[in-house]
Amino acid sequence: MAPRTDSSDILAQAREGTGAAAAGRVFGTPVEQDGVIVIPVAIISGGGGGGSGSGTTPAGAAGAAGGSEALADGEDRPQGEGSGGGFGFSARPAGVYVIKDGSVTWRPAVNVNAIVAGGQLVLLAAFLVARSIIRGHR
């Protein structure tokens, strides 16, 4: 049987992991070159969850030894317990702030993959509409 873990230990580990999602992680380290300062910006998101449970084998279920015989009424039922959890984070570039000659401008990051995928969906829809129009006139 695995060693029992206290839920406060699990919460402490989760807090350590979520420390990576602090506000300082949204803005990257400023880079300066030739009097121009560039500050990268990212969008972060995260989530997590967990749970635990325990119980006994229901009446009429197979025995704990893996045999096919059902437990008789009044017999001790095997106990079981388990727990688990997890969390994750995601970051994607949003753009950069450019500071030049005392003025600040925003340059958004361009997601070329999303643009290409959107174009493919539009072409597919146009093809399907054209095909249905052509088939309808026959």
> What local confidence, expressed as pLDDT, does residue 24 receive?
47
Q: Count of domains in the chain?
A: 1
| 107 against 69, higher pLDDT | 107
pLDDT average, residue stretch 37-62: 80
> What local confidence, expressed as pLDDT, does residue 74 receive?
60
Instruction: Please indicate, yes or no, if residue 66 is contained in any of the structural domains.
Output: yes
Which of 2-11, 63-72, 111-120 bottoms out in mean pLDDT, i.e. has the lowest?
Answer: 63-72
Separation in Å, CA 75 to CA 60, 64, 66, 86: 11, 12, 16, 37
Residue-range definition of the domain harbouring residue 100: 7-110
> What local confidence, expressed as pLDDT, does residue 138 receive?
64
> What local confidence, expressed as pLDDT, does residue 136 receive?
82
Separation in Å, CA 49 to CA 10, 43, 84, 116: 11, 21, 9, 34
Residues 70-127 pLDDT 10s: 556 666 667 788 888 888 888 888 899 999 998 899 999 888 898 999 999 999 999 9
The reply to whether the predicted model has a pTM over 0.75 is no
* Residue 72, C-beta contacts closer than 8 angstroms, at least 6 positions apart: none
Residue 65 has pLDDT above 80, yes or no: no
